[in-house]
């Protein structure tokens, strides 16, 4: 509600919007969906969206989400992927994960897409639980980098990289003010570094370089809508 001089001027209802973008370098149309998680009637909500995807000829649905994790803010935030099938995972060069537990509208919508025969992939950024208050530009940047990998395009990121660095510096300053928090962050860093150490192999570096070439290479071979 917008009130001016004591008078109700405008009531803005929450909604989900679909917009079509046609970036020339992408070689395909992109359909952007932006909205909030509904409070009720999830089946009707997802059915309406899947119907719109079908009417628009969508060939791949990419869903973005975030979860709280024991991740240090000083390290690259991990992005995990769940696909509608093993064949799609291999095609998109993503490493699927195993999960069993609660879900949100992203999981419900992905299941609805799978039931309708629409290929889909959901990307989840691991946000440090001790800085869970949104926004988290570093998590947003990690998700968009993963979208670039999947679509083989470069997205206009504007000031997002600078905002991610500023966010990290701000968390650094907050952590330095509390010795317990600073020690906890150091323990997370040590655990993260120990886990990622095997990934410093030549094979891992080669995989990352191949991903870079796929994203920055010839984009003219891709068509369709996502």
pTM reported for the whole predicted model = 0.79
Q: Is residue 73 part of a domain?
A: yes
Residue 59: predicted pLDDT? 93
Give the span between the Cα atoms of 83 and 122, in whole angstroms.
6
Domain-embedded: residue 192:
yes
Is residue 70 assigned to a domain? yes
What is the domain range of residue 82? 2-216
Residue 219 confidence (pLDDT) = 44
* Whether residue 221 has pLDDT greater than 50: no
Q: Angle, nearest 10°, between helix axes 160-176 and 179-196?
A: 130
Assigned domain for 212 exists = yes
Say yes or no to pLDDT of 203 above 60. no
Give the number of other Cβ atoms within 10 Å of residue 207's Cβ: 14
DSSP 175: H
Which of 33, 78, 14 has its CA nearest to residue 225?
A: 33
Q: Angle at Cα 111 formed by Cα 21 and Cα 103, nearest 5°?
A: 100
171 alpha-carbon distance from chain centroid: 21
Q: In the structure, what pLDDT confidence band is assigned to residue 223 with cuts at 50, 70 and 90?
A: very low
The pLDDT, as a whole number, for residue 179 is 84
Cα distance from N-terminal residue to C-terminal residue, the chain? 34
What pLDDT was estimated at residue 50? 96
Q: What is the CATH number of the domain that holds 143?
A: 3.40.50.10900
Answer whether residue 224 is part of any domain. Answer: no
78-128 residue pLDDT tens: 898 999 888 888 888 777 778 888 889 999 999 999 999 999 999 999 999
Domains in the chain: how many in total? 1
208 in any annotated domain? yes
- Predicted local confidence at residue 52, as pLDDT: 95
> pLDDT (tens digit, 9 = 90+) per residue, 182-201?
888 888 888 887 776 555 55
What is the pLDDT, as a whole number, of residue 220? 44
Mean pLDDT throughout 8-29? 85
137 has a pLDDT exceeding 90: yes
Examine the pLDDT at 37 and tell me if it is beyond 50.
yes
Q: What is the DSSP letter of 28?
A: S
Quote the pLDDT of residue 189. Answer: 83
11-20 tens-digit pLDDT: 988 889 999 9
Assigned token pair, 159: 């000031």
Q: What is the pLDDT of residues 154-176, one digit of tens each?
A: 888 899 999 999 999 998 888 88
Do the domain assignments include residue 226? no
In a domain, 154, yes or no: yes
């Amino acid at each position: 509600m917008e009130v001016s001089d004591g008078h109700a001027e405008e009531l803005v209802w929450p909604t989900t919007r679909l917009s079509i973008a046609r970036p020339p370098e992408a070689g395909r149309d992109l359909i952007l969906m932006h909205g909030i998680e509904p409070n009720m009637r999830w089946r009707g909500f997802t059915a309406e969206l899947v119907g719109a995807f079908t009417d628009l000829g969508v060939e791949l649905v990419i869903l973005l989400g975030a979860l709280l994790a024991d991740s240090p803010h000083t390290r690259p935030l991990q992005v995990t992927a769940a696909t509608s099938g093993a064949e799609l995972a291999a095609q998109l060069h993503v490493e699927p994960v195993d999960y069993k537990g609660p879900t949100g509208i992203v999981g419900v919508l992905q299941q609805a897409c799978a039931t309708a025969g629409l290929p889909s992939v959901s990307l989840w950024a691991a946000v440090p639980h001790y800085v869970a208050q949104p926004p988290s530009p570093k998590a947003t940047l990690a998700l968009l980098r993963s979208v670039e990998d999947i679509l083989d395009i470069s997205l206009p990121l504007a000031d997002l990289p600078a905002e991610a660095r500023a966010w990290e510096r701000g968390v650094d300053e907050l952590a330095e003010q509390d010795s317990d928090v600073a020690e906890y962050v150091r323990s997370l860093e040590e655990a993260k570094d120990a886990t990622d150490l095997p990934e410093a192999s030549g094979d891992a570096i080669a995989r990352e370089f191949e991903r870079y070439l796929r994203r920055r290479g010839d984009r003219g071979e891709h068509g369709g809508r996502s």
